[in-house]
Structure 1
């Protein structure tokens, strides 16, 4: 049973339950409410909004330290974790879902591919305020400490003010020291993208295989974007939505002469 006197915070990620990023996030969240962790039992990066429909799903209680809150692993994707938490594990709706802290950026177009952000999106779809946190450092031993007070502040603000329906927050943190981080900047998603290539190789048995490679290109020079904020040592906060309708295009489409 959960304590209804405290806000219930669901914590998840895509790097797996033992990742350093989620351990930092759990520690921060534990000072603000009752925490329940439901995370993948193995890394699930770049899974996007994938769900498990052609395989079985398993839940296992997880114990790594002596702590009071409950933790669980699932055999599924980050989105599966949120679904299983909501429908099988928790006895009430969480007041907040936080996902991360991801090892690596989820700014600009990366939000589309991100398992971290897809978990947050799934929570939003289920009516749960949600935030995805990412640090622009892919290292296993990345330093999350400089971001700690900012993460705590963002969580506190959401618990205090709530969140607009259909919106979740995508928060990216620059790789920087305490002294270098300038603060939090509310931004839009930059129009930046990957120019991709496949590195074709041949294994010892003569069979071809491929590695996805590429370079990140930012053609958006606006100073109101997440990429600009990160390059200038700000933490970027982008409100994103799961409604993918191109609302600005509807009026023009309604002038087309579609056949009945």
Structure 2
């Protein structure tokens, strides 16, 4: 009997190579295939889809986790995926890319700023089925154990079924040990009402801390915010084609007077 090929799984994150969240994700994936970890050498939260273009990148293999091929990268989460594909896998794409588990939610508008999700999106751009995972707990003491069975189940479904072309999954978990199940959702119309807390340094020069309050303007019961508020894991299919297709016909109705 011919043994089925073991899938190869790329594990990345934005919280850094030693973050508890990536350890939880890595151990969850060990049961599903060959795991390769490539992660930033320091926290990169809020980096979005940034790439490094003005300075050299370092990619070092390290012995950090027993039995796991692990690399530390000096760049952004997206750099990690790019280097993994070109230098580690030598163009032989992994079967799955998983990012996280992030310390803190990446629901609604947060997906645009998230290094966790941008790493998953980069995987999708490379035609790798990709998923970003996040937990509603920003602390380094976060308990990821209640998420693990859901993480595994979602990963298995993606390995078995693939994903629609141009799509990655954004998965968020509520905090606590009683996750009710999984809801397929749309992204809520919600955003941060941001402010900057102005302070003075010892030389009387102002500096600023970004603060804000999360505002949900969406009352729908099919959103990621609603699912999380009601104890469910939210799964939102995200596309990286950012064309507003519904607006094309509107713009085509404009009368441009230049030639």
TM-score (normalizing by structure 2): 0.96
Deviation per residue, 1:89-125 (Å, 9 max, x gap): 1142111100000000000000000000000001101
Shift of 1:208: 1.2
* 1:205 Cα deviation from its structure 2 partner: 1.6
1:112: which partner in 2? 112
Structural RMSD (CA): 1.2
Secondary structure in 2 aligned to 1:94? coil
Runs of 4+ deviating beyond 2 Å: none
| 1:1-260 correspondence to structure 2 within 5 Å | 5-67=5-67, 69-91=68-90, 92-177=92-177, 180-259=178-257, 260=259
Name structure 2 gaps, 5 residues minimum: none
Distance 2:65 2:39 in 1: 16
CA distance in 2: counterparts of 1:5 and 1:36, whole angstroms? 16
Looking at structure 2, the residues matched to 86 and 181 of structure 1 have their Cα atoms a distance apart, in angstroms, of 34
Q: Cα offset for 1:18?
A: 0.6
Pick which of 87-96 and 41-50 moved more: 87-96
Q: Provide the C-alpha distance between the structure 1 equivalents of 2:52 and 2:112, rounded to a whole number of angstroms.
A: 18
Alpha-carbon offset, residue 65 of structure 1: 3.2
Q: Give unmatched runs, 5+ long, in structure 1.
A: none
Moved more, 88-97 or 185-194: 88-97
Shift of 1:64: 1.8
> In structure 1, how many angstroms separate the alpha carbons of the residues matched to 2:144 and 2:231?
14
Q: Distance in 1 between matches of 2:186 and 2:50?
A: 25
The Cα shift of 1:55 comes to 1.0
* Residues matched between the structures, number: 255
Distance 1:232 1:98 in 2: 25
- Report the Cα distance in structure 1 between the residues aligned to 2:138 and 2:36, rounded to whole angstroms: 25
Deviation (angstroms), 1:206: 1.5
Cα distance between partner residues in 2 of 1:181 and 1:200: 39
